[in-house]
Amino acid sequence: MGQYWIAVNLDKKEKLDPHKLGVGLKLGEQIGSGHGTPDALFILVAAMRERRGGGDFDWDSNYYGPERDSKKPGHNINGGPVIDAYNDVAKRTIGRWAGDRVVVVGDYSEDGDLPSYPNFGSLYDDDTLVDITDDVCKVIEHEVGGKYDNSQGWREFKRAA
């Protein structure tokens, strides 16, 4: 079998579900997996409360989203409008975990693995953790230009054609 892992925010009591990100639960399945756990963590810990330059995530201006007409001249220079539904998700998701205590915890973890956190060994199975993966998936879909698809029985990220 093997050990299964999830990313957890100890301060906010939140978690990511790797299967919703289209990846397996083992460490090796989560790294180098396309648009999965590493992308999700990068979005969550980015200390970005506003867009400040080229290459930043969309924030009140649409440089990457599917709503843009990329065939227009200058589309990479001048961002277009961002739909309100995405702005709401972006504002509550991008940088949400910046500055917090974030760990990757396995189902074989023991209390002594993180002595400063009581009951660390039971954290993997903690039903009180709030799953925020759906919002993170929406940010990845918008910023990268694709969709998470589970039509084959396993969720995977597919880039827009």
pLDDT tens for each residue of 85-115: 888 898 899 999 999 999 999 999 999 999 9
pLDDT at 160: 78
CB of 121 closer than 8 Å to CB of 111: yes
Total number of domains constituting the chain:
1
Looking at the DSSP assignment, which residues form a beta bridge with residue 146? Answer: 159
CB of 14 closer than 8 Å to CB of 1: no
* Pairing outcome for strands 102-106 and 5-9: antiparallel
Give the Cα separation of 96 and 104 in Å (integer): 16
Per-residue pLDDT at 84 exceeds 90: no
Summarised one tens digit per residue, pLDDT across range 5-57 is 999 999 999 999 999 999 999 998 888 777 899 999 999 999 877 666 666 67
pLDDT at 61: 65
- What's the whole-number mean pLDDT along residues 132-153? 89
Please name the helix (run of DSSP H) or strand (run of DSSP E) that holds residue 88, with its range, or none. helix 84-93
Range of the domain at 143: 5-159
Give the Cα separation of 130 and 12 in Å (integer): 9
Residue 69's pLDDT band (boundaries 50, 70, 90)? low
pLDDT at 31: 86
